[in-house]
Amino acid sequence: MAKVMLFIDGTWLYKNMPRLSEAYGQADFRIDFGKLPLVLSGEVARQLGSTSVDVVRTHLFGSYAANYDLKDDDAVQRRLDFFDMLKEEHNYELELFPINFRGRRLRRNDRDPEDSFEPKEKCVDISLATAMLYYAAIPNAYDIAICVVGDQDFKPVLQNVRKLGKRVAIASIKGSCAPEYADARDEARVKDYGIIWLDDLLEELALRYERHKLPCQSPMHKGDREVWTTFYPRRGQRFYCPDCQSEFASQKQEAQQEYVSSNVEEVKPAAEAAPAPTPGMRIPGVVKKKVADRGFGFIQTEEGLQYFFHLTDLEGDLEFQEVEEGLHVEFEIKKDPNHDKAGAAQKVRRVG
Ligand SMILES: [Zn+2]
């Protein structure tokens, strides 16, 4: 039985989702990532005239924003939740790299037009190419690589993997695909099968939702807690209804205005020997201020740095109702404090 491994350029796929939505004719088109490996390996089997292919692993390479303006927090969290879902529900292997936005908005249109900042994605292409070659060099790891790509940069790795005796299939999107990959005569010698167009498989790939009822877990929920939804929470994840979510969004916006006023004059410079706190680091702190009616508060660290948290940033058994000023917690830094603004915390847990 032929062993298939998938290598997906997640950044490219994400960027080209609007093309697929347009081709499908529905703005909310989403790929069912549970089905994607089977649909693509099915296409390869069809071209081989056999049904005996076995998907051994699916690798996805991508990036996520770090150290960004919190107005974009919902978008970033959705992306991270999406990656968690791929890993936990569909057993994808992920290689993800942070892009440092240095406190800025994600979209260029939301940034100062004078600002020449360019977010730099690092390592995504190289790590895909490296993984393809790495597994090609391990005996029997795979027979056929299915690459979900469009950028021309992968040409050398596709050629070299074939020189190692592996077969290569390319799945791509019309209008976002290097001409060498689409070339039916394959003069560049990059593939062993006819190109697979995702555009032609949308019916099979579309994610279909089932509606069901879930209780909203916001302490500020109004009315009947049981709400119709298409959301399936994973272990440890909390469900908040759309009304509460939009309420949270405005709470966070309001809280942003308050960052400045949060006792910043008390901030002492960090001791020189201490490593500078950076996003992703887990550190301890004490709840300094709680704005109970608006669902947020601030945590202060030993050095006097302050970090904003929203009730949706609490984890484990910690409920917003139980958070009190003076409570010892630990948290992950989502955003650094910057000049006179507090930073932001996430994954806040009780300690002791
Ligand atoms: Zn609610």
- Any idea what the CATH number is for the domain that residue 8 is in? 3.40.50.1010
The percent of residues in the chain predicted with pLDDT above 90, rounded, is 61
Of the pLDDT bands very low, low, confident and very high (cuts 50, 70, 90), residue 173 is very high
Burial class (CB in 10 A: 0-12, 13-18, 19+), 175: exposed
Between the two ends of the chain, the Cα-to-Cα distance in Å is: 53
| H or E segment to which residue 289 belongs | strand 282-291
Query: Does residue 234 sit in the same domain as residue 257?
Result: no
CA of 227 to the centre of ligand 1 (A): 8
Pick the more confident residue, 174 or 89.
174
Can you tell me the mean pLDDT for 169-195? 94
- Find the helix packing angle between 124-137 and 155-163, rounded to 10°: 0
Distance 69 CA to ligand 1 centre (A): 26
Give the residue from 81, 91, 79 showing the smallest Cα distance to 38: 91
Distance 230 CA to ligand 1 centre (A): 15
Say if residue 157 is in the same domain as residue 231. Answer: no
Kindly give the distance from the C-alpha atom of residue 294 to the centroid of ligand 1, in angstroms, as a whole number.
Answer: 14
pLDDT of residue 248: 87
pLDDT in tens, 244-284: 988 888 887 777 666 654 554 454 555 555 567 778 889 99
72 alpha carbon – ligand 1 mean position (Å): 21
**Spacing, Cα 243 to ligand 1 middle (Å):** 6
Q: What is the CATH number of the domain that holds 322?
A: 2.40.50.140
Is there a single domain that holds both residue 145 and residue 50? yes
Question: 195 and 48: one domain?
Answer: yes
Residues 317 and 336 in one domain: yes
Structural domain that includes position 220:
212-245
pLDDT at residue 27, as a whole number: 85
| Residue from 337, 330, 333 nearest 345 by CA | 333
Q: What residues have CB less than 8 Å from 292, skipping those under 6 apart?
A: none
Q: How far apart are the CA of 95 and the centre of ligand 1, in A?
A: 34
Do 234 and 305 belong to one domain?
no
The answer to whether residues 300 and 285 touch, using CB atoms and an 8 Å cutoff, is yes
Shared domain check, 281 and 223: no
The reply to whether 336 and 224 lie within a common domain is no
Q: How far is the CA of 279 from the centre of ligand 1 (A)?
A: 30
Bin 220: left if φ > 0, else alpha if -120 < ψ < 50, else beta.
alpha
What number is the average pLDDT over the span 290-296? Answer: 88
Residue 119 has pLDDT above 60, yes or no: yes
